[in-house]
Structure formats: C-alpha cells, structure tokens
Amino acid sequence: MSVIKLNNLTKDYGDGNGIFDISLEVAKGETFGFVGTNGSGKTTTIRHIMGFLKSDGGTASVLDMDAWTDSPEIKRSVGYVPGEIAFPDVKTGTDFLKIQAEFLGITDMTYANYLIKTLQLDPSANLKRMSKGMKQKTALVAALMGDKEILILDEPTTGLDPLMRASFMELIAEEKKKGRTIFMSSHLFEEIEDTCDRVALIKDGRLIDIADMEKIRYHNIKTYKIEFNNSNDYKQFYGSGFNVIRKQDNHNQVTVEIDDKNVNELFKALKGLDVKFISEKRYDLEQYFNKFYIKGEQK
Amino acid sequence: MEITSTMKKKKTGLISKPLLKQSIKANWVLWVISTAVICLFVVLITSMMSSSTIVDMLKAQRGNNFDINALLGNMFYGMMGPMVPIIYIVITANGLVASQVDRGSMAYVLSTPTKRSTVAVTQMLFLIGSLFITFTLLSIFAMASQAAVFGNVAVGNTLLMNLGCFIEMTAIAGICYMCSCLFNLSKYSLGIGGGIAVWFFLAKMLGNFGDPAMPMGADALKIFNYTTMFSLFDTQSIVEGTTAYIWKLAILVAVAVVTFAVGITRFKKKDLPL
C-alpha cells in the first residue's frame, strides 16, 4: 500500500516557477528522500502533502485521503518539520512543547523527554534566544514526540552541527526500524543516501528521476583511478582493453570502469606494472544524479 | 511504548483549547496594558469632572439625577476611549493570523489535527472575548467612579455607552481580522487593516471638531463624519434617549458579522506558505 501518493501534482506560479506533473508513491515503511537545489520545488511539493497549498492540477493523497480536503484527518498520522523555523509566540521551548503536546493530544511525555535527552536539547531556554541548531532540535522533538506513522521532514538537518546531525540520523534510523514511513527533503546528498531507500531528484519543478539506493549502494560497476610511475607502463595499461573513462597523459593516470565480476582481470593486467597508487571512487548518489545536472548548476 | 494506541481520537471541535491558551499567552501583556489604561482613563476623567463648572450646571438643571454620560459620551466613548483598544485590536488581529502565517509559526498548529476553521474561529473568539472583558471591566470602573465621585450612578446609559463602544470596537476588529485572514504578509495585513482603523479614528476626531456642540467654529469639518464608520456609534442619541443609536449599532453588528465571516471563509480556502 502506498502511504503518500502524488499524481501529476502541479502548481503553476507563472514564469516557470512552481511544480509540474510530479508523480510518485511512497510505500509503507519506506524512507523516501527528496533532493534538489534551492528553489527546485521541494517545499512546494511538501506543502501540498501537508494540505497547506491547493494544487492547480493533479492530486496528492496520504493514506488514501485527499491531502487538501482531508488534511485535519491526515494530520492524526503525520509528524512535520517545516522548512522554516518560526515558533509561536510563547516564551520557552518547554512552553512550546507542552502546548504542542496538547494540540496532539499527548498526555504522556516520556517519549518527548527521551527525544530531548537524545538530541541534548535544553527546552527551558527562551525560544527567541535559541541558536538555529537549538531551534531545529526543538522543531524535531515537536514533530517526533507524537510518535506518528508518517514523518514529513523539510530539510530537517539545517543548522545542526555534524555531531547533532549524526544523532538525528540515528533517531531517523530508529523511526525507520519502527516501520514509520518517512518523507524527507534535503539538498545534501550525503545525508539522504545514508538513510533513504529511494531518492527522487527534482529540478526546476519537475521530477527528473527516482533512484533506488540499494542499486546505488551495491552498484556492480566500480570506478578505479590508477597512476603509474612511468609512461611505458601507463601506455601498456590503457592499451589493454579496459573501459577507460578518463586519462591524463602528463600524470600517467587512467580512470577505468570495471564490473565486479571482471575485477580479477584488472589485477592480472596490473601484475608486473609499476603502479604508483590505485584508488576506488565510490559510486554515490551525487554521481548518479550528476548526469541530470548541467554543469555549473550542481550543488 | 505506543502512545499512538493510547491516544484518544478526539473530535476536533469549533474551538481549540490549546490554541486559545497560546493566544492568551502571546497577547495578555498588551491586553492588560490597554485595558488598564482605558479603565484608569475613565476613573481619572470622571473624578476630574467633580469640580468642573459644567457638572455644576448639569446638577443645577437636573438635580441629583444628572447623567455624567452626557459629558463622557462624545468626549470619552466617542474619541479618546477607543484609541487604546484600537491599538490593541490592530496589533492583536494581525498577530492572531497574518503574522503567524508570515513567520511560518502557523505550521505547528496546522500540522496537528486542528482544522483551519477551528483555528480561525478560535482566534476570532479570542479577539472578541478579550474586547468583551475589556468593556465589562470598563463599565465596572466607570460606574464605580461615578458612585465614588457623584454618589449616583447612571447604570442604564453607562452600560449602553460601553455596549455601543464594544460593538464599534468589534466591528473594527472584524475589519482588521479580515485583513489578517486575507493577507499572508504582515505588512499588508497591518497596513490595510491598521490603516482603515486609524483613518476611521482620525476622521471621527476631525468630524467632532465640526460638531455644533463643540465651539470650534469649523463646521466644514463635519464632512469627515461621513467618511468614518465610527459615526455609527451615536452617543448623542443614547444620552438624549432617542432610538437612532439602535439601527446605527445594528449596522456595526452587521459589519462585524460580515467581516469575520469573510475572514474565516477565506482562511479556510487559501494557500498557506507554511
């Protein structure tokens, strides 16, 4: 069963701004990443899922309910971290979380307190004087404390330092283990590729591709960069029939792509040659999506 | 631990208690200040009247049953009185909706099962309710100070003055609230809602200067009375005991009903950049 379903979702703000014909499905228990540069339409898409925006065309549904008309009902199952951090006009983080718990009908704060501890948040601080990272943590606690089936996170790690980002990612992994469905946007490939099962790339309001992280993580074509100590060996190597994708004569350096099952051929070919170094370039999401980006636009 | 399973499936009603609580927390300081100022105002003015020659004249004319509202009506309820509540209304109406949409904090309310209509109705009730308490307190202070200063209280007319002023303030609150619901940016909500409120107030002042009761000799200024909704609060009619004030207040009630309704309806249907 798909938990979130977008069908040709369109919002046209004119001048090519907006989102156009976005279709995707997120299955139950899936962690779905949504990447794209700033202004590519990630937040606009999420706002439709949350029922804040009414589409110009197409539909967005959550748990088979219409995201616009059944929005309050859907929210019983959704935890949300907005892309912009702005809290209601209350004094401290504790005040805010208490009122938020009331909105959500939570009476038992055990889980909220666990989250506060994990994220090392001091909620008694004045909301207005909190650092960006502190605010983001408060927003995360507010979204997670309801222990909802679905989590929608709009750039949730903004403002977090690397250590906090790591503990946040651990929390997400925990939620994932519980079988939660997670929809998360980011402009950072690294955090998406570590946590997500599938990743959609959006560019200029259009969905470019959806990548299966499993295939990227266990990609069978590997890229190796090899540098030789002398040009004779270098020439001998690249003449031996490997799929050379790049060569630099002045450095005696070649980059080759080799299927895992042929990797022994590589070692046989290198035997007896004077290798300066060999390194494997990991195949990652960025590389996968690179082909969709025009040079210069890459984030 | 499964909080989800123990969570009660509460039906979302017309009013959200946590939102009301949040609105009180966010606005009580300004409310206390504006209510205290206007109550202090009525006490001071009433006590200052005790030694004025006009009061002596009134006393001579009507004996001990004179009505201080004949003086307070136009001067206090018609002019200075509304000034402080107007400031409260302009700021609060904007803060209840538009500023929360503008800053994005409304996202936290609407990411819970709270309906948009519940949000809009709750915020409206907070605004009207807070004004109602203000004018209830003002009535009490007005009557208490009359009792202390003159020894007699014009209960009926004092209550009518306060009711009229409350209705007038509710109508202007409706206009400001409607602007707050229509616009996603504080600057438009404040600029247009506040602009209208300030205009009505200033026009009323200017119009008053043209009033034959005021010895200003600037009759032409009367024209401003036709450009302000506040003319519909007819203090003269209340004091004189005629019925003209009734239909005029009815129009103000209608303005309030329409503006609040338009605001709530629009808020339910519009795109929110949250």
Contact B238, B221 (CB under 8 A): no
A2-91+144-217: which CATH topology? Rossmann fold (3.40.50)
Q: How far apart are the two ends of chain B, measured CA to CA in Å?
A: 31
Residue B2 with chain A: CB contacts under 8 Å: 147
| Burial (Cβ within 10 Å: 0-12, 13-18, ≥19) of residue A280 | exposed
Q: Does B115 touch chain A (CB under 8 A)?
A: yes
- The distance of B274 to chain A (nearest Cα, Å) reads 7
CA angle A177, A183, A186 (to 5 degrees): 115
In this prediction, residue B3 carries a pLDDT of 40
pLDDT in tens, chain A (299 residues): 789 999 999 999 988 899 999 999 999 999 999 998 888 899 999 999 999 999 999 999 999 999 999 999 999 999 999 988 889 888 899 999 999 999 998 888 899 999 999 888 999 999 989 988 889 889 999 999 998 999 999 998 887 888 888 888 888 899 999 999 999 998 788 788 888 999 999 989 999 889 888 888 787 788 888 888 888 888 888 777 888 888 888 888 888 888 888 888 888 888 888 888 998 887 778 777 776 665 444 44
Local structure of B222: helix, strand or coil: helix
Taking the C-alpha atoms of residue A187 and residue A40, their distance in angstroms, rounded to an integer, is 10
Contact A85, A135 (CB under 8 A): yes
DSSP B12: P
Task: Look up tokens 């509460």; give the residue.
Answer: B10
**pLDDT tens column, B230-248:** 989 988 888 888 999 999 9
Q: What is the 3-state secondary structure (H, E, C) of A61-86?
A: EECCEECCCCHHHHHHHEEEECCCCC
The alpha helices in B73-183, defined as continuous H runs, are 81-96, 98-103, 106-110, 116-150, 155-182
Structure pTM? 0.86
* Range of lowest pLDDT (A127-141, B52-66, B255-269): B52-66
Taking the C-alpha atoms of residue A185 and residue A201, their distance in angstroms, rounded to an integer, is 10
- Look up residue B46 and give its two tokens: 């009433």
Q: How many Cβ atoms from other residues are within 10 Å of residue A105's Cβ?
A: 17
The yes/no answer on whether domain A221-282 falls in CATH 3.20.20.140 is: no
Give residue B6's pLDDT band: very low, low, confident or very high (50, 70, 90): very low
Q: Mean per-residue pLDDT for B98-110? A: 94
Q: Which of B108, B109, B268, B271 to mutate to test the interface with A (most CBs of A within 10 A)?
A: B108
Contact A10, A162 (CB under 8 A): no
Element (H, E) at B18: helix B17-49
ipTM at complex level:
0.82
Higher pLDDT, B128 or B74: B128
**How many pairs of residues across A and B have Cβ atoms under 8 Å apart?**
108
Taking the C-alpha atoms of residue A103 and residue B123, their distance in angstroms, rounded to an integer, is 15
Residue % of chain B over a pLDDT of 90 = 61
Where b means 16+ CB within 10 Å and e means fewer, B144-161 reads ebbeebbeebbeebbebb
* Range of lowest pLDDT (A265-274, B27-36, B130-139): A265-274
Q: Which of A103, A135, A155 to mutate to test the interface with B (most CBs of B within 10 A)?
A: A103
DSSP A182: E
- Using the beta-carbon criterion (under 8 Å), do B104 and A84 form an inter-chain contact? yes
Chain B: residue whose CA lies nearest to A114 = B1
Sorted by where each begins, the domain ranges of chain B are: 15-269
Higher pLDDT, B75 or A253: A253
Sorted by where each begins, the domain ranges of chain A are: 2-91+144-217, 221-282
Give the β-pairing of A253-259 and A243-248. antiparallel
Residue B7 with chain A: CB contacts under 8 Å: 104-106
